[in-house]
Structure 1
């Protein structure tokens, strides 16, 4: 099943946004994008977009568990991303 051109364009833009300049963050974000984006409900997609709007240093502290996001939806998504198999 092929993706609609608009879907592919959106995925290309999101892949670019997942490139953070820190390989570990790139891999975490891109892994979720590739494995979950297409089947995710709108709400989960919106949470992922908010995650992409977060500064890299804060993201890194959240993914390492040094800090907890103030938003429960972000915290749940980060936990889900951390648990995705490599």
Structure 2
């Protein structure tokens, strides 16, 4: 498998996980974010996004909508982009 094929497989896997969280509000935000942003993300950004997808839905959703403060260990440029994205995501749907 080429590097390009491996990256495409990773993007598909992350998109699938983002769309199928089991929590509708998180699915909508994370799924659309993944569709819009994954192709431009660096491998490091993908690593961070993958870590965020491991966080329980209610915690991650609270951070995204800024209901709860994002713990220091999860603060990143990707988390900041998710915060901004949330504010515009519902205008697309």
TM range (shorter): 0.7 to 0.9
Unaligned runs of 5+ in 1: none
Residue 16 in structure 1 maps to residue 16 in structure 2: yes
Distance, in Å, in 2 between the alignment partners of 1:5 and 1:44 is 18
Q: Does 1:39 align with 2:40?
A: yes
Partner of 2:67: 66
1:67, distance to aligned residue in structure 2 (A): 1.7
Q: Which has the higher helix share?
A: 2
Q: TM-score, normalised by structure 2?
A: 0.69
> Aligned partners of 1:42, 1:65: CA distance in 2, in Å?
26
| TM-score relative to the length of structure 1 | 0.74
Total equivalences in the alignment: 81
Which consecutive unaligned segments of at least 5 residues does structure 2 have?
none
1:28/1:82 contact within 8 Å kept: no
- Superposed structure 1 runs of 4+ greater than 6 Å apart: none
Task: Please tell me whether the aligned partners of residues 62 and 69 of structure 1 are also in contact (alpha carbons under 8 angstroms).
Answer: yes
Residue 25 of structure 1: aligned partner: 26
